[in-house]
Amino acid sequence: MKPFIGAILAIFWKDLLAERRTREILGTMLVFALTVILVFVFAFDLSVEIRRKAAAGVIWVTLCFAGTISLNRSLTLERDREAINALLLAPVDRTAIFFGKALVNWVYLLITAAIIVPVYALLNNLSLFSWGGLGVILLGTLGYILTGTLLSTLTLQLRARDMLLPVLLFPVIIPLLLACVRASTILLQGGNPAELDTWLVMLVGYDLLFAAVGLLVFDRIIEE
């Protein structure tokens, strides 16, 4: 277990180190996400109440599109000079690559969320923070990244992978996105706690399902 965790952390730190130098992934994600938020805020002259109602949808759509930037770029880094082969040659369980890449992409997406949620709240004079909301963001982004990392690995060797990833990813994450938006809306506007529990269970189930799928199939899809 120790080499497995060590390999995940090694991949995580390696990607963060490269990102600290280039700032190409996180920088692009933030510029894109903030632009979308600003357009939503300034394009429509909406009442505070409607902005509160729209908050969950706007934030999750922004995170989904920003997330594709990191998913695409993060694995492209491994394709450049075929560094992915050096990872595959390492004497560790290859699913460590899946979890290492997922971890770094998750951190990028959480940083993006940590910036755009307060910005949206500030610009709309809303209070959006709650511990429940934080939990939904953690679970929702995790599920999104697990699915995205798996599918971006599947498209790794394809020429049109940048275009293919959203085409493959978005239909698969519809249940996740639905659960995220509904749970967030209940938390922001109040609602039936039992319904909230249902969506949270769905989020946990989704995350577990795609972590298990990654464990089972990643080795096979990365090799071929």
Partner 1 sequence: MILPQALPEETRRAMLNAVNLTRSFGNRQVLRGLSLTVEPAEIVSLVGINGAGKTTLLRVLANLLRPEQGMVRFGSYTPLNAPAEYRRHIGVVMHTSMLYDNLSARENLRFFSRLYQIADSDKRIRQVLEMVALNSRADELVRTFSRGMQQRLAIARALLHDPDLLLLDEPYTGLDQRSSELCEMLIRQAAADGKMVLLTTHDFNQAVAISTRVDLLHDGKISWSSPSAGLSGKSLRATFNELTVFSGSHKGHGVNT
Binding-site member from 48, 49, 82, 158 for partner 1 (CB under 8 A): 82
Stretch 84-113 residues interacting with partner 1 (CB under 8 A): 85-93
Residue 155 backbone dihedrals phi, psi, to 5 degrees:
-100, 10
Ranges within 116-145 binding partner 1 (CB under 8 A): none
- Residue labelled with tokens 């997922």: 102
Q: How far is the CB of 200 from partner 1 (least distance, A)?
A: 36
| Longest Cα separation, the chain | 58
**Least CB distance from residue 219 to partner 1, whole Å?**
9
Give how far Cα 211 sits from Cα of 1, 146, 182, 204, Å.
17, 6, 23, 11
Contact between 158 and 171 under an 8 Å Cβ cutoff? The reply is: no
207, 136 in Cβ contact below 8 A? Answer: no
Give 97 or 116: the residue with its C-beta nearer to partner 1. Answer: 97
Asked if 177 interacts with partner 1 (CB under 8 A), we say no
- The angle that helices 95-123 and 2-22 make with each other, rounded to 10 degrees, is 50
- The mark string for 14-43 relative to partner 1 (x by CB under 8 A, - otherwise) is x--xx--xx---------------------
User: Considering only residues 42, 45, 81, 159, which one is a binding residue for partner 1 as defined by CB under 8 A?
Assistant: 81
- Residue closer to partner 1 (CB basis): 59 or 75: 75
User: Cα–Cα distance between 219 and 224 in angstroms, integer?
Assistant: 9
| Residues making contact with partner 1 (CB under 8 A) | 3, 6-7, 9-10, 13-14, 17-18, 21-22, 77, 80-83, 85-93, 223-224
